[in-house]
Amino acid sequence: MKNKAVVLLSGGLDSAVALYLARSLGYDCLCVIFDYGQRHRREIESARRIARLAGCAYKVIKLDFAHKGSSLLDKKAEVKGCASRIPDTYVPARNIVFLSLALSLAEAIKAKEIFIGAHAQDYSGYPDCRPEFYRAFKRAAISGTRSGVEGKAPGIRTPLINKNKAQIIRLGRRLKVPFELTWSCYRGGKAPCGRCDSCRFRANGFKGAGLEDPSL
Amino acid sequence: MKNKAVVLLSGGLDSAVALYLARSLGYDCLCVIFDYGQRHRREIESARRIARLAGCAYKVIKLDFAHKGSSLLDKKAEVKGCASRIPDTYVPARNIVFLSLALSLAEAIKAKEIFIGAHAQDYSGYPDCRPEFYRAFKRAAISGTRSGVEGKAPGIRTPLINKNKAQIIRLGRRLKVPFELTWSCYRGGKAPCGRCDSCRFRANGFKGAGLEDPSL
């Protein structure tokens, strides 16, 4: 029987690559998709489509962050991006919350690994994308769970952590990731705005990889 | 202006003592109450009443653990308790999930501390009640949040961690905790069953403290 993995799937490019990578490593993947009031809600539909195309089970977890403080949740706020050191799209403790719920699920289904597509370009800005955070979370997971006490805590896999966007895109291409289904734009429009940080990172990534973005 | 604290309030005895302690230390407390499909749902109503009586704001966060694996969530399972080393009422990674959401909220409202009533008698069984878990979580919170990066991560306060139930009850009495409003029984009945671990710990605690349980 295949080992199980829980994959955090946002609908964006990075997590889609993480999913296809986990699948290529032979894991039976359960995708976790968070519906947390993000203004770019259409990424949820993208995530569903990606999971279905990959032939993987998925679960949408509705989550009420219920407190604002981020331009990603507050539809009245403007998405400015990286003007300050930590972007205004930072959602308080978001990846800790996501990972904790993924950990709970992973423990319940006895998954061997949790995959998350956090990477280098993000951790210049988001503290919860830094390698030291994942190391610290792993230790908390080991000491705070039954599986940890039994020496079987799910691993926290961040296979993209040291890659830049162009490298991630090249890897995704080798893995046949359906980039045309992925959604990156932080603004909630019908088409990508082309101006927010996320759109710009994506465009630069495709440029750096020497590829066309099939979603445009 | 008072410092803010987020207090995890379950409706049980321990978290009520933690709330009254935080209040006595001068914190402006926001109580977080989790509605997570627990079979002893009436603890939610107890928690609301305790928060109101204490004059504190509260927030009920609905959470879909959405996977079973615990007698505390599965109404068909029998609550046996501590027959095995980790009780069957263990919910996968529960306190990590609760703390993560409390951390997100604490960061959003700029709270100085998070109070949780975990304590000694529990950590013989529940891994997420052990001091080493809280230390590890604190490190994850520091490395994975904006406030942590800025040297202002909320503290994780576990003031009851080394106390036994009788000591907690004596402390609660000094703080005038309304024990009659607290609910401990894991089973979902109209009156406490008197037989589950939680009922027995409570009864022994009151006995050890030389007090009557006003809820009986």
| Subunit contact B93:A86, Cβ cutoff 8 A | no
Asked whether the beta carbons of residue A108 and residue B69 sit closer than 8 angstroms, the reply is yes
* Residues from chain A contacting residue B149 (CB–CB below 8 Å): 86, 127
Least confident of A41-50, A64-73, B1-10, B197-206: A64-73
Query: How many angstroms away from the CA of B97 is the closest CA of chain A?
Result: 5
pLDDT tens-digit series, residues B48-60: 999 999 999 999 9
Please state the rounded mean pLDDT for residues A170-198. Answer: 91
What's the CATH number for B4-209? Answer: 3.40.50.620
User: What's the average model confidence in pLDDT over B154-172?
Assistant: 96
| Pairwise CB contact (< 8 Å): B142 & A149 | no
Q: How near does any CA of chain A get to the CA of B210, in Å?
A: 33
At A22 the pLDDT is: 98
A33-78: pLDDT as tens digits: 999 888 778 899 999 999 999 999 999 998 876 565 555 555 565 5
Which residues in chain A have Cβ-Cβ distances shorter than 8 Å to B66?
Answer: 59, 61, 105
Residue A83 has pLDDT above 50, yes or no: no
- ipTM summary value: 0.86
Amino acid B82: pLDDT:
45
Mean pLDDT of B54-81: 71
- Give the tokens for residue B157: 């306060």
Confidence of residue A82 (pLDDT cuts 50, 70, 90): very low
* pLDDT at A69 (0 to 100): 57
As a whole number, the mean pLDDT across chain B is: 88
- Band of residue B83 on the pLDDT scale cut at 50, 70, 90: very low
pLDDT of residue A52: 97
Q: Which residue of B has its CA nearest to A128?
A: B144
DSSP string, chain B: -PPEEEEE--SSHHHHHHHHHHHHTT-EEEEEEEES--S-THHHHHHHHHHHHHT-EEEEEE-------STTT-TTS----TTSSS-TT--TTHHHHHHHHHHHHHHHHT-SEEE----HHHHTT-GGGSHHHHHHHHHHHHHTSHHHHTT-PPEEE-TTTT--HHHHHHHHHHTT--GGG----SS-SSS--S-SHHHHHHHHHHHHHT---TT-
Residue A8 has φ and ψ, to the nearest 5°, of: -75, 115
Please indicate whether residue B154 or residue B197 has the higher confidence score (pLDDT): B154
Nearest chain B residue to A32 by CA distance is B66
pLDDT at res. B122: 64
Grade residue B70 by pLDDT with cuts at 50, 70 and 90: low
Predicted confidence at residue B84, as pLDDT, reads: 46
pTM, full prediction: 0.89
Question: What's residue B157's pLDDT?
Answer: 97
Boundaries of every domain in chain A:
4-209
- Tell me the pLDDT tens digit for each residue of A106-154: 999 999 999 999 987 766 678 888 889 999 999 999 998 888 888 999 9
What would the mean pLDDT of A81-85 be, rounded to a whole number?
48
Tell me, what's the pLDDT at A122?
64
Chain A residues close to B99, C-beta within 8 Å: 100
**B136·A143 Cβ contact <8 A:** yes
Amino acid at B98: F
pLDDT tens digits for A91-105? 888 889 999 999 999
Separation between Cα atoms, residue B73 and residue A106, nearest integer Å: 16
Q: Of A34, A37, A38, whose CA–CA distance to A47 is shortest?
A: A34
CB contact under 8 A, A140 and B144: no
The pLDDT, as a whole number, for residue B1 is 85
Chain B residues with CB inside 8 Å of A108's CB? 65, 67-69, 92
pLDDT at position B81: 52
Most B CBs within 10 Å: which of A85, A96, A137, as the mutation test of the B interface?
A96
